């Protein structure tokens, strides 16, 4: 068995203090997101882990791409009939997490997910390359399939069928907007005394901030 006990590093790139944070967590998220984006060699800064409670009662986490964020919350897209989609529709309490090791930062978001309006899903789907549009139509996401040829043959058939035509968004494919109820920001610090600041939404929709022990 490989011993990982000596996999250690010192965290010393930044700090997170109450005196320098905004009142709204979305503003701090925006700041951190674009700071990480500015680092050289960072790929897919918008990659996030989405955790749901599955229909089988087990939690499940997977990495998806954040496609939009604003004062309302965070949007990602999926097949609503997938394992992930069905889990969210049954239990909309989800967790999003970002890990940016280059900046020694994490963000953990608890929120309530809801389908985006059809116009939002339509507009995003229309912006995708044709290959991605057809891929969304081809894949019966999360279902068991016989082999890869099954997908490739379906793709070829759809390419022929939609040649020179507009590709419509499938009804079972669209966005989820996750409206945050808490947002935790984690900044690595020396000696494992990491900074953790959590924003929690109040009944009047203002945000309360607290420091958590590392």
| Full set of structural domains in the chain with CATH | 18-125+173-212 (2.30.110.10)
Q: Which two tokens stand for residue 47?
A: 């990659």
Please state the rounded mean pLDDT for residues 118-125: 98
Active-site residue, from 86, 192, 196, 211: 192
Check residue 109 and give its pLDDT. Answer: 98
Does pLDDT of 97 surpass 90?
yes
Provide, rounded to the nearest whole percent, the portion of the chain with pLDDT above 90: 90
191: exposed, middle or buried (Cβ count in 10 Å: 0-12, 13-18, 19+): exposed
DSSP letter assigned to residue 13: S
- Output b/e per residue, 92-118; b: 16+ Cβ within 10 A: bebbbbbebeebbbbbbbbbebebbee
Please state the rounded mean pLDDT for residues 114-137: 96
Q: Are 100 and 34 in contact (CB under 8 A)?
A: no
Please state the rounded mean pLDDT for residues 163-170: 94
Check residue 62 and give its pLDDT. Answer: 98
Does pLDDT of 24 surpass 90?
yes
Check residue 174 and give its pLDDT. Answer: 98
Check residue 5 and give its pLDDT. Answer: 75
Does pLDDT of 8 surpass 80?
no
DSSP letter assigned to residue 189: -
DSSP letter assigned to residue 204: T
Check residue 14 and give its pLDDT. Answer: 95
Check residue 10 and give its pLDDT. Answer: 82
- Concerning whether 192 is annotated as a catalytic residue, the answer is yes
Q: What is the mean pLDDT of the chain?
A: 95
Q: Are 109 and 199 in contact (CB under 8 A)?
A: no
Q: Are 100 and 35 in contact (CB under 8 A)?
A: no
* Site of tokens 């016989």: 146
Look up the pTM and report it.
Answer: 0.93
**Among the listed ranges 7-21, 68-82, 95-109, 112-126, which one has the minimum average pLDDT value?**
7-21
């Amino acid at each position: 068995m490989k011993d990982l006990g000596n996999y250690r590093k010192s965290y010393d790139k930044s700090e997170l203090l109450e005196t320098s944070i905004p009142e709204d967590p979305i503003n701090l998220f925006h700041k951190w997101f674009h700071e990480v984006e500015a680092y050289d060699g960072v790929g897919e800064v918008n990659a996030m882990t989405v955790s749901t409670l599955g229909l089988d009662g087990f939690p499940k986490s997977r990495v998806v791409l954040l496609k939009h964020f604003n004062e309302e919350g965070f949007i990602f897209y999926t097949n609503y009939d997938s394992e992930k989609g069905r889990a969210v529709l049954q239990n909309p309490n989800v967790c999003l997490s970002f890990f940016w090791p280059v900046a020694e930062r994490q963000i953990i978001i608890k929120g309530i997910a809801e389908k985006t309006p059809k116009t939002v899903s339509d507009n995003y789907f229309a912006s995708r390359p044709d290959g991605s549009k057809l891929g969304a139509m081809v894949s019966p996401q999360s279902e068991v399939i016989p082999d890869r040829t099954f997908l490739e043959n379906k793709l070829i058939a759809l390419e022929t069928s939609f040649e020179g035509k507009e590709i419509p968004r499938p009804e079972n494919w669209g966005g989820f907007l996750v409206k945050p109820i808490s947002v935790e920001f984690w900044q690595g610090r020396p000696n494992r005394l990491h900074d953790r600041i959590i924003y929690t939404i109040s009944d009047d929709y203002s945000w309360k901030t607290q420091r958590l022990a590392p």
